[in-house]
Chain A
Amino acid sequence: MSVATEFKPKIVAFCCNWCSYAGADLAGSSRLAYPADVKIIRVPCSCRVNPMFILRAFEKGADGVILCGCHPGDCHYSTGNFYARRRMTLLFSLLDYLGVEEGRTRVEWVSAAEGVKFSQTMNEFVEKIRSLGENVRLGDLRCKN
């Protein structure tokens, strides 16, 4: 009898340096747990995230991708997250249209003081991805496999 191996989701979290990454830090130093399945990639600003980064994360095997930045109006570079918000809105909607379940992508605004929100968000997101299972649709969009 084979032992069913537990699905360990691979999750990429892009966090802006000024708010969300500091929020993650605070979560850590406050000993608020979040699953080790979340791999954080620090970016200077949410706006630095080229839509191709999100696609590349999926192509490399991510099951879910989340982008965290400063709250609207609080971006260190004033307007970065406003542009990022439009881009991600359109990109995620397009991915949904292609059949990539919408729960696999998420944007959340997390400030440097919101360690609790960071850990809650990550716990929720990992749960969501666990329920969706492995992502098999964005390896090769040409659908060769």
Chain B
Amino acid sequence: MQELVNRAKALLADGTVQRVLGWKMGDLAYNPEPAFFENEEALSDFVYNSFCGANLSKYMIEASKKEGKTLVFLKPCDTYSFNQLLKEHRILREKAYIIGVGCTGKISGERIKEAGIRGIIAVEGADAFAPAETLQVKTLYGDREIAYKDAMLERCHVCKGKEHKIYDEIIGESRDTADSDRMEKVREIEAMSPEEKFAFFQNELSRCIRCNACRNVCPACSCRKCVFDSTKFDSAQKANVDSFEEKMFHVIRAFHVAGRCTDCGECSRVCPQNIPLHLFNRKLISDINEFYGEYQAGEDDTTVGPLTAFTTDDIEPSDARERG
């Protein structure tokens, strides 16, 4: 981590960048948050550890409007979002100096809590570059342990790989932490009867409190005007509102990012209700791959997306549903 801070200081000092976009310590040991650092002194709050799952790409929209360059730290999977935002002309390449940071799989306080560990005070072994096999968790109720793998975010179990897709320089080693099939659950749902499917989603979606966290964190959800914003009600009333957009929130959200979602996993990570939003995104990704050829949003910043393209002999909607 010190290496990142030193490099940031050097780039600030020689005038290459005007500010730094990174992570700073949150109010708890396991929730560092995205932050802009305007000068060398401010960097004393900088952190980079295994809890830094937050994808900083979206903050580059704001940074692209500022004077001069911003140094931004991107993990391998974050670079897909960066490319996608470039493709959509939401950010400017020349406003960013990208340090690709090594990633060895990110963990979260939520996953540790899910394992039954409460009252977390401190976590040892969460060094971003040299993580421990087993995390030592100090809690209000004594010392506990959890395997690093078990504390890892869902998305890291289906890691896209350790390669940074865009960068100016790279610091730190990455490792590919994939150990599951990302479409497994999607296939399971596809095989259900309509009643079972609906019951499954009813169980998940009825927990939604419409906090908008999933929309706000999403790099693909960056429209200046959003259908989910209303002048008739504010966020405090969202869950009780019966507007069409609110009632159909989940399907509209998923469809609006179709073909642009990089499967960065941020939506599922931030949902306070643990709603598996990735199951919608991945269904769309799976269909796109099957019907229109393998496509990974954010792989580069030029390839035309699947919903802004067509071929004259595309599959018909009726045939699409008859397969398998």
Q: Would you call B208 and A94 a contact (CB within 8 A)? A: no
Which residues of chain A in 38-90 are interfacial with respect to chain B, using CB atoms and an 8 Å cutoff? 51-52, 55-56, 59, 72-73, 79, 82-83, 85-90
Q: What CA separation (Å) do A108 and B280 show in the bound complex?
A: 26
Which residues of chain A in 86-106 are interfacial with respect to chain B, using CB atoms and an 8 Å cutoff? 86-102, 105-106
Interface-centre pick from A51, A102, A106, A143 (highest chain B CB count, 10 A) = A143
Contact of A143 among B206, B252, B283 (CB under 8 A): B206
Question: Which of A6-14, A25-33, A133-141 forms part of the interface with chain B?
Answer: A133-141
Q: What CA separation (Å) do A71 and B5 show in the bound complex?
A: 60
Q: Would you call B252 and A52 a contact (CB within 8 A)? A: yes
Q: Would you call A94 and B316 a contact (CB within 8 A)? A: no
Known: A79-B310, A99-B194, A105-B317. A94 touches B280 (CB 8 A): yes
Question: Any chain B CB within 8 A of the CB of A116?
Answer: no
Q: Would you call A107 and B283 a contact (CB within 8 A)? A: no
Q: Would you call A85 and B255 a contact (CB within 8 A)? A: no
Q: Would you call B198 and A142 a contact (CB within 8 A)? A: no
Q: What CA separation (Å) do A138 and B210 show in the bound complex?
A: 18
Closest Cβ of chain A: how far from B10's Cβ, in Å?
A: 47
Q: Would you call B283 and A82 a contact (CB within 8 A)? A: no
- B162: which A residues are within 8 A, CB to CB? none
Q: Would you call B198 and A93 a contact (CB within 8 A)? A: no
Interface string of B246-257 (1 = CB under 8 A from A): 111111101100
- B309: which A residues are within 8 A, CB to CB? 86
Closest Cβ of chain A: how far from B237's Cβ, in Å?
A: 14
Q: Would you call B318 and A106 a contact (CB within 8 A)? A: yes
Q: Would you call B201 and A99 a contact (CB within 8 A)? A: yes
Q: What CA separation (Å) do A95 and B250 show in the bound complex?
A: 11
Which residues of chain B in 250-297 are interfacial with respect to chain A, using CB atoms and an 8 Å cutoff? 250-252, 254-255, 258, 280, 283-284, 287-288, 291-292
Q: What CA separation (Å) do A52 and B255 show in the bound complex?
A: 9
Known: A82-B310, A91-B255, A98-B197. A142 touches B189 (CB 8 A): no
- A98: which B residues are within 8 A, CB to CB? 197-198, 201, 251
Q: Would you call B244 and A59 a contact (CB within 8 A)? A: yes
Interface-centre pick from B189, B197, B315 (highest chain A CB count, 10 A) = B197
Q: Would you call A86 and B189 a contact (CB within 8 A)? A: no
Known: A72-B312, A87-B307, A91-B255. A141 touches B284 (CB 8 A): no
Q: What CA separation (Å) do A76 and B53 show in the bound complex?
A: 48
Q: Would you call A85 and B190 a contact (CB within 8 A)? A: no
Interface string of A100-128 (1 = CB under 8 A from B): 11100111000000000000000000000
Question: Any chain A CB within 8 A of the CB of B314?
Answer: yes
Q: Would you call A89 and B283 a contact (CB within 8 A)? A: no
Interface-centre pick from A51, A82, A83, A99 (highest chain B CB count, 10 A) = A99
Chain A interface: which size bin? 35 or more
Q: What CA separation (Å) do A99 and B193 show in the bound complex?
A: 7
Q: What CA separation (Å) do A105 and B283 show in the bound complex?
A: 18
Q: Would you call A85 and B208 a contact (CB within 8 A)? A: no
Interface string of B177-219 (1 = CB under 8 A from A): 0000000000001101011111111100110101000000000
Q: Would you call B321 and A93 a contact (CB within 8 A)? A: yes
- B252: which A residues are within 8 A, CB to CB? 52, 55
Contact of B314 among A51, A89, A137, A142 (CB under 8 A): A89
- B208: which A residues are within 8 A, CB to CB? 142
**What would 5 A/B residue contacts be, using CB atoms closer than 8 Å?**
A59-B247, A90-B284, A99-B200, A137-B198, A142-B246
Question: Any chain A CB within 8 A of the CB of B131?
Answer: no
Known: A88-B317, A141-B250, A141-B251. A97 touches B205 (CB 8 A): no
Q: Would you call B320 and A89 a contact (CB within 8 A)? A: yes
Interface-centre pick from A90, A94, A95 (highest chain B CB count, 10 A) = A90
Q: Would you call B249 and A99 a contact (CB within 8 A)? A: no
Please, which residue of chain B has its CB at the minimum distance from the CB of A82? B310
Please, which residue of chain B has its CB at the minimum distance from the CB of A51? B255
Contact of B321 among A59, A83, A96 (CB under 8 A): A96
- A137: which B residues are within 8 A, CB to CB? 198
